[in-house]
A and B are shown apart, each in its own frame.
Chain A
Amino acid sequence: MNSVIKGAGYVLVHAPDMVLHAGTTQTTEKIVNPDSEYLKELPNHIRSYEDVVAYMPNQTYIGNMTPEELAEHEQPWVGKNMENAQRYGKFGEIMPQDEFLVLMQVCDVFELVYLDKEFVSATKDKLAADPVIGEDIMAKVAEGIDGAEIKRLVDEEHAEPLYHMGNLVGCVKRAHDVDVNLSAHVMFENIACKASSVLALLHAVKAAGIDKADVEYVIDCAEEACGDMNQRGGGNFAKAAAEVAGLVNASGSDLRGFCAAPAHAMIEAASLVKAGSYKTVIVTAGGCTAKLGMNGKDHVKKGLPAIEDVLGGFAVVISANDGVNPEINLDMLGRHCVGTGSAPQNVIGSLVAAPLAKGGLKITDVDKYSPEMQNPDITKPAGAGDVPLANYKMIGALAVKNGELDKKELASFPAKHGLVGWAPTQGHIPSGAPYIGFAREDILAGKINRAMIIGKGSLFLGRMTNLFDGVSFTIQPNSGAQAEEGVSEEKVKGLIAKAMKEFAETLMADADAE
């Protein structure tokens, strides 16, 4: 019996000071070209929290706007703020930087993160007001230390400074005097990744309506590595985040595969559940501070804001078949193999056409494809084009080559079977995953019948292989089959009622929007 997608959480963290101080484009520039015009100009291109919340792709990410609604607005979307934009959405939230710094401190269990006590007292209550932040988390907020001591730790003890609105408000100490894997900078990156994963986990649990104690396993598919000099990527982000999120019955592990990792992790989770190993598994990923402002030079040069100013996180709850929620079909998995080659047509063939052929389906039988959903506002000015659109053109072109689509229909293929991109360039975050929450809803509502999630990864960046990578899977309506135990008729009725209610709310929201 196939596993089902019970719900998903999507979070963004506004990180303006981290763009300036932690993004590798900026840190590299400070080394090779410290007096550059770019570094002088960049601070004038940082967006306010309000602008980040009102930015339509961000509102789409947290579920306050559908991809279809976003597509109705002409690109670029930057500068066209949404009215009445909200911090919270049905999938998650856009957390401001100050609250996130406190959450980072909560996520540090080795006394490495220190915050200014005045900053903590000014911020604490704001974080406590977040509906997913419980008393268990607030109990871990430390009082903070004197600003002068923070400055000393930064100046004399190699601590990584933490800024908010240009002010030094805290630091991350190094966890070892010699080991570069535990340096202050690495600890900062890892704790930021962990904290955004925790936030995503909390929202996913809420969205799926499950009990925290139900979660038996967590798979982290981010792109950071934690470990020490004897085991550089030892792990385990998954269990570390599950601990803070209060998933007391969960174990977990990390899965890595660059941007393809979320799709790999979803398949692994669905398989573990289908096999009966675990009943409920969450796939989670936090964000990547290094990628903040990655294409900032191009954005600044073109007079745009530095749009890569948010950390992304997501978490998807996969559980045993409840007879209601959409299923992950494991009989039609796409796989880029060692022998597939790197020609784009081979890549798309192995990820799209080959798995569909296994199920006797054509490319046009999939209603919506979700490959890499990078926001074109970010990638187009940087010379990478519109990544989702390029993927749809490739899929359409393959359908033409295979005789499944008339060449005349190629032009309309992307709009019909595709989506516009709304995800920040946080590596693994845009890769297929952003659509899972919407796909679940659209299938429950009967709007679509089949969605394909495609993850692709640039393995060559790790200099271990020149190979490309990717996997794909399809999501389909529930076949009505139920797990043998644990799901009563009453529960099913409850789930149906919940789904109907959600659908009704969507309709009402649509009506309101009109």
Chain B
Amino acid sequence: MSILSGKKVIIIGDRDGIPGPAIEECAKTAGAEVVFSSTECFV
């Protein structure tokens, strides 16, 4: 069963890992609706 398809996706990216917008691009191709995308910064 698909994890992302048809789901509302919340993205918590990381400045020193994968930033939010990059994850957003990916999630969209899996049929998810991105409702929130943010990037955290620990430095």
State the interface size on chain A (CB cutoff 8 A). 24
Contact with A along B9-43 (1 / 0, CB 8 A): 00000111111111001000000000001110111
What is the size, in residues, of chain B's interface with A at 8 Å between Cβ atoms? 16
Whether B25 pairs with A460 at a CB distance below 8 angstroms is: no
Tell me, in angstroms, the Cα distance from A387 to B18 when the chains sit together. 13
**For the complex, what is the distance from the CA of A460 to the CA of B37, rounded to whole Å?**
11
The answer to whether residues A343 and B22 also contact, given A384-B16, A390-B16, A458-B15 and a CB cut-off of 8 A, is yes
Q: Does A64 contact B (CB under 8 A)?
A: no
Output the least CB separation between B14 and chain A (Å). Answer: 8
Query: Using Cβ atoms and an 8 Å threshold, which residues of chain B touch A382?
Result: 42
Contact B19 A344 (CB under 8 A): yes
Rounded to whole angstroms, the CA-CA distance of A259 and B42 in the bound complex is 12
A436→B38 CA distance, assembly (Å): 32
Known A-B contacts A341-B21, A387-B16, A390-B16; the reply to A372 vs B41 at CB < 8 A is no
Question: Which residues from A are CB-within-8-Å of B15?
Answer: 458, 468
A468 adjacent to B19 (CB under 8 Å): yes
Contact with B along A377-388 (1 / 0, CB 8 A): 001001111010
Chain A nearest Cβ from B13, distance in angstroms: 8
Contact partner of B21 among A342, A372, A385, A430, CB < 8 A? A342
Give B contacts to A, CB under 8 Å: 14-22, 25, 37-39, 41-43
What 9 A-B pairs are tightest by C-beta distance, nearest first? A384-B42, A342-B21, A342-B19, A343-B22, A458-B41, A425-B43, A458-B15, A384-B16, A342-B22
Residues of chain A having any CB pair with chain B under 8 Å? 259, 294-295, 341-344, 372, 374, 379, 382-385, 387, 390, 425, 427, 430, 458, 460-461, 466, 468
Name 5 extra pairs, CB < 8 A, besides A387-B43, A430-B43.
A294-B42, A342-B20, A372-B43, A379-B16, A460-B20
